[in-house]
Amino acid sequence: MSSSFTDRLLGKVRLGGLLALAAPLLAIVFAGVITSIILALTGNPPLETLRLLVDYGTQSRTIVNIINLATTYYISALAVAVGFRMNLFNIGVDGQYRLAALIAAAVGGALVLPAPLHVGVTILVAVAVGGLWASIAGLLKVTRGVSEVISTIMLNAIATGVGAWLLTTDRLAVAVSGSNNIGTKPIPPSGQFPGFALIPGTQAKVFGFAVVAVLLGVAYYVLFNWTRFGFDMRATGRSESAAVASGVSVKKMVLVTMIISGAAAGLVGMPQLLGASYSYSLDFPTGLGFTGIAIALLGRNNPVGIAIGALLWSFLDNSSEILDLEGIPKEIVTIMQGTIVLSVIIAYELVHRYRTTAEQHRVSRQLSAESSSAPGSGSASRSESDSESDSASEEGAKA
Amino acid sequence: MTTVSDAPATAPAPPGARRPRRNWQILLLGLLALLVMMSIARVVTGAGDITSGGTIGAAVGLAVPIGLAALGGLWSERSGVVNIGLEGMMILGTWCGAWGALTFGTWGGVLAGAIGGALGGLLHAVVTVTFGVDHIISGVAINILGLGATQYLSKLVFTGMKGGGETQSPRIPAVADVSVPGIGGPLLDLENRHLFLVSDLAGVLRGITQDVSLFTIVAVLLVPISFYVLWRTAFGLRLRSCGERPVAAESLGVNVYFYKYVAVVISGALAGLGGAFLSMVAAGIYREGQTGGRGFIGLAAMIFGNWRPGGLAGGALLFGYTDALQLRQGGTSVHALLLVVAIMLAGFAVYQLVRQNRTWAALITAVFAVAVFVVFAMTDTVPEQFTSFTPHLTTLLVLSLASQRLRMPAADGVPYRKGQAK
Amino acid sequence: MEEAAISTSTSSASTADPGIELAVELEGITKRFPGVVANRDIRLSVRRGHVHAIVGENGAGKSTLMKILYGMQRPDEGEIRVNGAPVHFRTPTDAIAAGIGMVHQHFMLADNLTVLENIILGSEPRRFGGAIDFAAARRKIKEISDAYGLGVTPDALVEDLGVGARQRVEILKVLYRGARILILDEPTAVLVPQEVDELFDNLRGLVREGLTIIFISHKLDEVLSVADAITVIRRGTTVAGVTPKDVTARRLAELMVGSELPSPETRESTVTPDVALAVRGLTVRGDGGRPIVDDVSFEIHKGEVLGIAGVEGNGQAELVEAIMGMRPAEGVITLGDQDISAWSTLRRREGGIGYIPEDRHRHGLLLDAPLWENRILGHQTRKPNVKGPWIDRAGARADTQRIVDSYDVRTPGIDVIAAALSGGNQQKLIVGREMSGDPVVLIASHPTRGVDVGAQAAIWDHLRAARAAGLAVLLISADLDELIGLSDSLKVILRGRMVADVDPADVTPERLGSAMTGAGAGGDRDTPAPEQLGPAATGAGEEA
């Protein structure tokens, strides 16, 4: 995880760069082959299935749905990726966004404010709740040394309980007319985020929040690649000990990163809440946080990569709706998604290894060629330094 | 001439004191003290279910899948592979267990559940050991895959069966129960008299001796078996050495990859067994989403148990118990437990003050104790939604109080590549 | 012995005596790694019952050679014979089976397992059903331990053992497997002198029992005191075979480094009266409140190099981390006239403290990041790396190029990741980085550890130049010649306390060495006659 794909890619445009793009593509093809085999084994025609997916997925209405769902996935994956950049596993995005969306929905439904302000306050509430909830895990990590992996998983369950407690008619919920569902009071039009009919051939509107998602992606890129703070985060992710020696306060970074990740997670429910449902009810989508983890992994924490991953994921999710009608279990898509994630991360790992070794060999070759006469250069047995411990042990005490 | 000042050299520091081994007497005393506190809480609040035979029986039953997952975590992490994919392997176990039981009968189900989980473990081993991918990432992916695979298979297999559907299996024939004969009735009598301590003891005994599933007995036996294999055999020593210092193991000719593979596959099999228990014994039916995060709780129980079999069994029982309470008068029972927690926190505060001389820590603990007591005194019951996350909150509290004392295997979670010893 | 005292040919010293039984013979061993030849045409004969030392500089190829002999790497060319029979090792297991054991420089022990578990791992005595026969294992360990006087307690946890005891466990581990040929890789690097003596006693005991020991070192005085035969390796090949009684340490040092003997000596004093860094009553506590650094006080003036001498593990690392603010400490630290005791690491760095860390991989570099990002590390709040809250890529890159040029960092470019550079070039990059931004004080922890001779000389030059320009340097090193040669004043640290002040103009490495062990100025404990005791490794420091 410590490797930063972006920097490698931006830093050097060589064969390695091409390889880094080709690897995930090959991995996706590989996942497709595995999925085809499973389909064939279970008596479904693979090519026909693929054709169904593509046909349905390219209809105007489905495209709108794909973009809308991808917007949500994208924000979720960004929230996860912020932590990943520092080797923090925020598995708790799921709980953070659900709690944030619930409370923001309640506040948004209760407020009477002019349009832009109304939306702004609702979003701010969501960001604040997400950040606060995530800060619990951050605080436990820096003060008590509790692994954020475990604590965020536990906090997810707790958020579910707290959410269920809040979402009762005694507290934040009202009955939804015409069903036995309950939800928060609907947000009035002044608090809704307008969408736009972008895709020709359908009335369905693309979430206005898609724009916000793009801006978040840009902000993410700028934060990590152009700011001091982002540098500190990446440094901490790559080597905590080196970051400490360079003057970075790792505890502070952990806490702040957790809060940023949680604040971003707070936004995950907003496209749906402000663009479609206008109320948080029992059937508000769940599990988006886990999808976000998978997509962040696919996109290797790169904002463009994540966008591609989110669209791919959303395409599979939306177009798979047609499969059930054709008698093919649509869960084949989940299998495909899982296989894609596994094969892509393996592909990245292999590329990373290959490139590190290749670069070391290239450097030592280049140097020994240009200065074979220089005394002591490329000191004999240090060539194996592709693994840290090697050169460390080679360079033992000099007394 | 040269050297000027010569300060006296200090004596060498004494070697670090060894941690005292907890012995059986202290353990029994602790259990007795716990029972006394719960008895007090029962008498004070009248929440009869907190020590009833039914609750204890349910607690044991609920502890089994958590404990099996925790054992799975133990095997994997002792070999140095973090296994957050336990949840996914457990999901595979629920489906395979149900399918196996329906197809081949009870023990076929047990075996199928183990194999299903083991396949998940094998995948985790390939990804983490052979390809060296970050263990947590691989685990997350396996959780996705486990869910997708079972959903897919359910639609394919269970939809066509009588009583089955897209998200659930037909009813599974029950696994046989056994009881220690002749003591069930008397214990129940004793329990119903509501005597201080005596009835509580009777409840506990009844819970662990009556109507125990054979599967439960198998699961309980796996704890000492795991201990024996991991700590008393050559195989176990080599496996653990891979989790502590793989380079050392490799330098002595131990095939690190092999042991990691075996450990992670066994880990998956154990998690799969836990899943099979859920579908075959606990529910008698496979249902989608049945694991409900128990794989994660198992991981927490293992950490709670400090990567030791006995400790994780205790952790699993604790979580199983809090799980059981929500099924039986959840609000009242958990409310009664608040009193137990308050007493324990107060005791801990005294311990910190008197034995450890940590005034500040003691003060903070005491404030928590008072706070818990105030909540206990001010309310009559705990909302049912809150009881649902009692085990998770307990995990969080235990970790935040004790995480510094825990000792994970030194190379746990560190990707290892063959030939690093070179 | 009839053999020539010093045979500078590549032929083995012992081939002159064919009648004697040889435990190990290496002939024409060559090992190439991509771009580098680690070992070239190595010839070596080790006689049974000898302590055979292999000496050479860091990076000369000693460790690679031993890894080949222990089956961890396979030679590209050449033949290995053990007890006269040719062998082909594929794994350490093969070497163990042939009776060869290795005691690694970095102990191969699992802290959280007991001594017994560590020893029997991989060759466990078993009872029925795969169960370990602990009683038998304990018995055998006791037997071996008593036979060679190793004093190993089977049931202790390794983490509770000191360094010397761990090493004895390592030796026992090898003996337990029936090894008759022991390879010891830099065994004394981590030992205090008393432990070295004990180790040598143990080794002599082993040799008396007919075992053969191959002893890798670059501490020449030790080699001369324990070895029966010495082979010198330089730049990947065997350059000489000698016997200790026929050679001086100085001659050995010259054989090791070839003709160049870089001297770290500084010329005239540049010390000024202005105090740059003052430390008063600094105490760092370890687990359980035990002081690791105990009430340490000193001052460094502008233009002064203050050297801290001491056996490793006596609190040097903790002292440095406390000064850098990476570790909580009691006491007062002043930089110029400001009390910086409560400052964060970042603020201390901004205040003008540069830091060359002891372990460059852990503390000095982001191995996965390109050089120009490594240039920013530790200077991420200062020009030319940043403009306000923004990273100034152009500025950082230009300055990285400047460092690469003026510090002679050998690299194809600044976009190469740090891990791709050799140790010496990584270190030059760090030195260049820490010298930029006009530091007032430089904390240099083992600045030339593990770097090649050329880089070492370059780093010394840079330190001297900076000192002349008024920089105050705190120099921590295990290389006594470096310490004596570079320092204006020297302090000796022992068990966390400053136990002696030494004038570097008037001290020899051996006197300094005995002060480091607490033996004091008059301590002549085990110190061989001065003419035998030439400078270690790089030599030449003391003649002034």
User: In chain C, helix, strand, coil percent, each to 5?
Assistant: 35, 25, 40
> Between residues C367 and B118, which one has the greater pLDDT?
B118
User: pLDDT at residue B65 above 90?
Assistant: yes
User: pLDDT at residue C481 above 80?
Assistant: no
The mean of the pLDDT values for chain B is 84
Chain B residues 341-400 within an 8 A CB cutoff of chain A: 383, 385-386, 388-389, 392-393, 395-396, 399-400
In this predicted structure, which of B101-105, C258-262, C530-534 has the lowest mean pLDDT? C530-534
Other CB atoms within a 10 A radius of the CB of residue B101 amount to: 28
Question: How does pLDDT run across C288-332, given as a tens digit for each residue?
Answer: 677 888 899 999 999 899 999 887 678 888 899 999 988 888 889
CA distance C442 to C471: 7
3-state secondary structure of A245: helix
Question: How does pLDDT run across C141-171, given as a tens digit for each residue?
Answer: 999 888 888 888 888 888 888 778 888 898 8
pLDDT at A125: 95
**Mean pLDDT along residues C255-262:** 59
pLDDT at A97: 95
pLDDT at B259: 95
CA-based nearest residue to B117, from B62, B171, B73: B73
Question: How does pLDDT run across A300-313, given as a tens digit for each residue?
Answer: 888 999 999 999 99
pLDDT at C35: 54
User: pLDDT at residue C113 above 80?
Assistant: yes
- What percent of chain A has a predicted confidence (pLDDT) above 90? 37
Residues of C in contact with A226 (CB under 8 A): 390-391, 393
pLDDT at A367: 67
**Mean pLDDT along residues B92-113:** 93
Chain C residues 98-157 within an 8 A CB cutoff of chain A: 104-106
> Between residues C270 and B17, which one has the greater pLDDT?
C270
User: pLDDT at residue B229 above 90?
Assistant: yes
Q: Enter the tokens of residue C73.
A: 């790497």
CA distance C181 to C178: 9
Nearest CA in chain B to C70: B251
> Between residues C2 and A170, which one has the greater pLDDT?
A170
Nearest-by-Cβ selection for C130 from B15, B235, B248: B235
pLDDT at B289: 87
A–C CB contacts, 8 A cutoff, strictly below: 235
CA distance B60 to B54: 10
User: pLDDT at residue B126 above 90?
Assistant: yes
Subunits close to C (at least 3 CB pairs below 8 A):
A, B
Subunits close to B (at least 3 CB pairs below 8 A):
A, C
Q: Are A396 and C478 contacting, i.e. CB atoms less than 8 angstroms apart? A: no
In this predicted structure, which of C31-40, C81-90, C222-231, C534-543 has the lowest mean pLDDT? C534-543
ipTM score of complex: 0.82
In this predicted structure, which of A131-135, C172-176, C180-184, C527-531 has the lowest mean pLDDT? C527-531
Question: How does pLDDT run across B269-302, given as a tens digit for each residue?
Answer: 999 999 999 999 888 899 988 898 889 889 888 8
pLDDT at A44: 85
The distance from CA B194 to its chain's CA centroid, rounded to whole angstroms, is 31
Nearest-by-Cβ selection for C498 from B7, B18, B237: B7
Grade residue A177 by pLDDT with cuts at 50, 70 and 90.
confident
Grade residue A360 by pLDDT with cuts at 50, 70 and 90.
confident
Nearest-by-Cβ selection for B141 from A151, A154, A294: A294
Q: pTM score, two decimals?
A: 0.82
Locate all alpha helices (DSSP H) within B21-159, ordered by sequence: 24-45, 53-78, 86-104, 106-125, 135-157
CA distance A92 to A259: 12
Grade residue C14 by pLDDT with cuts at 50, 70 and 90.
very low
Asked whether the beta carbons of residue A396 and residue C105 sit closer than 8 angstroms, the reply is yes
In this predicted structure, which of A67-71, A390-394, C98-102, C487-491 has the lowest mean pLDDT? A390-394
pLDDT at C360: 84
pLDDT at B354: 85
Burial of B373 (0-12, 13-18, 19+ CB in 10 A): middle
Chain B residues 238-267 within an 8 A CB cutoff of chain A: 247
User: pLDDT at residue C205 above 90?
Assistant: no
Residues of B in contact with A42 (CB under 8 A): 152, 156
**Mean pLDDT along residues A120-149:** 92
How far does C21 lie from chain A, in Å, by closest CA? 31
Cβ of residue C284 closer than 8 Å to a chain B Cβ: no
pLDDT at C367: 84
pLDDT at A14: 41
Asked whether the beta carbons of residue B249 and residue C121 sit closer than 8 angstroms, the reply is yes
pLDDT at C263: 56
**Mean pLDDT along residues A78-97:** 91
DSSP A273: I
How far does B394 lie from chain A, in Å, by closest CA? 9
**Mean pLDDT along residues C176-203:** 82
Highest-confidence range of A128-137, B50-59, C514-523, by mean pLDDT?
Answer: A128-137
Question: How does pLDDT run across C60-105, given as a tens digit for each residue?
Answer: 777 788 888 888 888 888 888 888 888 888 888 888 888 898 888 7
User: pLDDT at residue B75 above 90?
Assistant: yes
Q: Are B75 and B62 contacting, i.e. CB atoms less than 8 angstroms apart? A: no
DSSP B52: -
In this predicted structure, which of A6-10, A238-242, B399-403 has the lowest mean pLDDT? A6-10
Most C CBs within 10 Å, among B19, B21, B228, B252, to test the C interface: B252
Nearest-by-Cβ selection for B241 from C102, C121, C130: C121
Residues of B in contact with A352 (CB under 8 A): none
Q: Are C283 and C329 contacting, i.e. CB atoms less than 8 angstroms apart? A: yes
CA distance B296 to B318: 15
Chain C residues 495-514 within an 8 A CB cutoff of chain B: 495-503, 506-507, 511
How far does A367 lie from chain C, in Å, by closest CA? 7
Cβ of residue A172 closer than 8 Å to a chain B Cβ: no
DSSP C59: T
User: pLDDT at residue B19 above 70?
Assistant: no
In this predicted structure, which of A53-67, B290-304, C233-247, C501-515 has the lowest mean pLDDT? C501-515
> Between residues A16 and B379, which one has the greater pLDDT?
B379
pLDDT at A5: 40
What is the CB-side half-sphere exposure of residue A390 using CA atoms within 13 A? Answer: 19
pLDDT at C267: 60
> Between residues C402 and C413, which one has the greater pLDDT?
C402
Chain C residues 154-183 within an 8 A CB cutoff of chain B: 157, 159-162, 173
